[in-house]
Chain A
Amino acid sequence: MPSFPMPRGPIPRVLRTTSFRLAAIYVVIFVLSAMVLGAAVFWAARSALKQQMGARIETEMAFLREEFRVGGVDRLIAVVQSRGKGASALDYLIQDSRGVHLAGELPRVAALEPGWTMIDVPEASEDGGRPEQVQALTADLGGGLLLAVGDDFGRTSEVEEAIATAFLWTVGLAVLLGIGGGVLLSRAFLRRVDAIANTAEAIIGGDLTRRVPLRGSGDDLDRLAGTLNRMLDRIDVLMESLRQVSSDIAHDLRTPLSRLCQRLEDARMHATSMSDYRDAVDGAIAESEQLLDTFAALLRIAQVEGAAPSKTFAEIDLSALAETVADAYGPDAEEAGRALIAKVAPGIVIRGDRELLTQAIANLVENTLRHTPPGTRIELLLSDDPAAGACLCIQDDGPGVDPDDLPRLTQRFYRGEHSRTTPGNGLGLSLVAAVADLHRATLLIENRHPGLKVSLRFAQAREALT
């Protein structure tokens, strides 16, 4: 199979697919909402930690005040110095009114005021980290003696950092999964779109029999492929009909045209009188009228095959229509020595094209009149079966049709060997078949020994309301 070059832009094809774009949009939306959620969690955790820290400091402060009240400065210093130096231990500062550092690991602060303050710890901790900040509560114990109790601010930062890291990992993974999934989805999507595109290219290349492969999953792409295939089938039928018409015209109209030409040439060479010429012209007119007639019939069949049913369809009384046709041909059949008997169930209504159905039924009756010997009994039957729909049937007790001819009767210009000499253009049944198709009716032609039975079964019929 030939490959067709696709235009290659700077972006790979996978990234330009609809499914990848959708995946990308979803990833962006996910990241944005995760960020909002992360920020909320972050702030909630931070304020909870601070509250906890404040409560712990206040409890310690109350305990130390009590110690000071009982044992004075010395006892206070002793208690502070006895406090452990663990990772979770609090930090202390005792400073007298002149600003002299009395105890505690926190550095001296020049203008220490009662209340909450931040105290910088300039020297780095043992592990060489950045300078710490300590959130401290300062209280005046009386006589200018100040006590500050603080907690390592860095510890809250550590928790915050942990939350932020976890959050970044989650988002990063989601983005990776989203992009990866998007690429995979797009690949799968692309493969199926490519299958459709390849089919289309093959058809453009001339292979009209190609169809889009179906996976049988019934998903949206599969249904699209099915619709495309049905469209291609329909186009195929129309093209075939068009091709058929042109080849029919080429093959079957050449004979009468050359006959017309010969007749005129013959008149030019041999006609000697005015009446000879008139006869020749009359004959030529008759011949060309018949040609035009055949043309019209051919085009009509092609039009019916290409027609959209909805445009001209209306509710029509099939019973009345059948009666009209029987009524119109009855006297003619009688003159020709055949009996045309109509047995029509009343009030059968279908949706259809009145003109075309009339012509189809008339063609069937004419066919029977033309191809049966005098004395034949012809029956036009219309019945309605609630299960199978309306059935219009024309049957006779004549000689029937050669079984070999049966399947070819509806082909254009096809005429059985013994009917070559009877008038007609071999298009009557083709039109009936086209009209039947348009009405989604089944056309069935069968020998009934004796005679022939042609039936049109309308699946859509229903009784009229009246």
Chain B
Amino acid sequence: MKVLIVEDDSETAAYIARGLHEHGHVTDHMRDGKDGLIAAMDATYDVLVVDRMLPGLDGLGLVRALRGAGVRSPVLFLTALRGVGDRIDGLEAGGDDYLIKPFAFAELLARLNALARRPPLSAAPTIFRIADLQVDVLKRAVTRNGERVEMQPREFGLLEFLIRNADRVVTRTMLLEGVWDFHFDPKTNIVETHISRLRAKLSRNGLLPELIHTVRGHGYILRLPDA
């Protein structure tokens, strides 16, 4: 994927660019908000990484101008410090996701992958299938191996988030934000516990092959069982 990085701190920008290159992605880097806006107007980027505080034109202004010009490229905001209400300001300006420095590169990569491949809403399917697992998000019905699996609403939310991002790594914080709307870091293992319960349900306590895989140090991925 082609990523535009608009970030005035060259060390952070180099850190992001190096990581993305290692994963086979292409990056461009702009230091200044105005230059960033001009580059982003090209609309050839799959995703934009924009720092909130930039010289020339700040991140919010950049994304507002971009959205005003009709460019719909997904934007991930970076910020050094999250103030009360900052995340909401970012999303209201037209940003799609928000990440606070310092961040782990795996977290950034997972989020960029999720943003870049987000399908347009109109074409979004309502029934997802992976191997013998089928999830109908309209009827909120889950079947595994042709048999219905009963789900609590929150369990279904977790499964829906995983299957909408199937074959992509989702991090612990992405799940916390997407499923529970928790925008802080709990000091307990709530994600791990919920995942292990969901696993037990989906695999009938280990009778069926595992679909939810742990990516060590990164997060989880829902994909075909290991051969």
Chain A residues engaging chain B, CB cutoff 8 angstroms: 292-293, 296, 299-300, 303-304, 307, 311-312, 324, 327-329, 331-332, 335, 353-356, 358-359, 362, 366, 369-370, 423-424, 428
Contact = CB atoms under 8 A, between A and B. Distances in A.
Nearest to A354: B181
A381 B96 CA distance: 35
B10 to A, nearest CB: 21
Nearest to A300: B82
Nearest to B188: A332
Contacts of B87: 355
A358 B182 contact: yes
Interface in B187-222: 187-190, 193-194, 197
Given A304-B84, A312-B84, A292 B183 contact: no
A331 B194 contact: yes
B100 to A, nearest CB: 8
Given A303-B84, A355-B183, A358-B182, A332 B154 contact: no
Contacts of B183: 355, 358-359
Interface residues of B, number: 24
Interface in B84-118: 84-85, 87-88, 100, 102
B24 interface: no
Nearest to B187: A366
What is the predominant secondary structure among interface residues of chain A facing chain B? helix
Interface in B137-191: 154, 180-190
B26 interface: no
B85 A328 contact: no
A312 B85 contact: yes
Given A307-B84, A355-B183, A358-B182, A329 B188 contact: yes
A329 to B, nearest CB: 6
A315 to B, nearest CB: 15
A424 B187 contact: yes
A362 B83 CA distance: 19
A356 B87 CA distance: 12
A303 B83 contact: yes
Contact of B187 (A296, A328, A423): A423
Contact of B189 (A304, A332, A353, A362): A332
B131 interface: no
Contacts of B184: 355, 358-359, 362
A356 B84 contact: yes
Given A324-B180, A332-B188, A362-B186, A299 B84 contact: no
27 contacts: A303-B84, A307-B84, A307-B85, A311-B84, A312-B88, A328-B182, A329-B190, A331-B190, A331-B194, A332-B188, A332-B189, A332-B190, A335-B189, A353-B85, A354-B181, A355-B84, A355-B87, A355-B184, A356-B84, A358-B183, A359-B182, A362-B186, A366-B186, A366-B187, A370-B187, A424-B187, A428-B187
Contacts of A331: 190, 193-194, 197
Given A324-B180, A332-B189, 12 more contacts: A303-B84, A312-B85, A329-B190, A332-B193, A335-B189, A353-B85, A355-B183, A358-B182, A358-B184, A359-B184, A369-B188, A370-B187
A423 B82 CA distance: 24
Contacts of B102: 292
Nearest to A359: B184
B188 A366 contact: yes
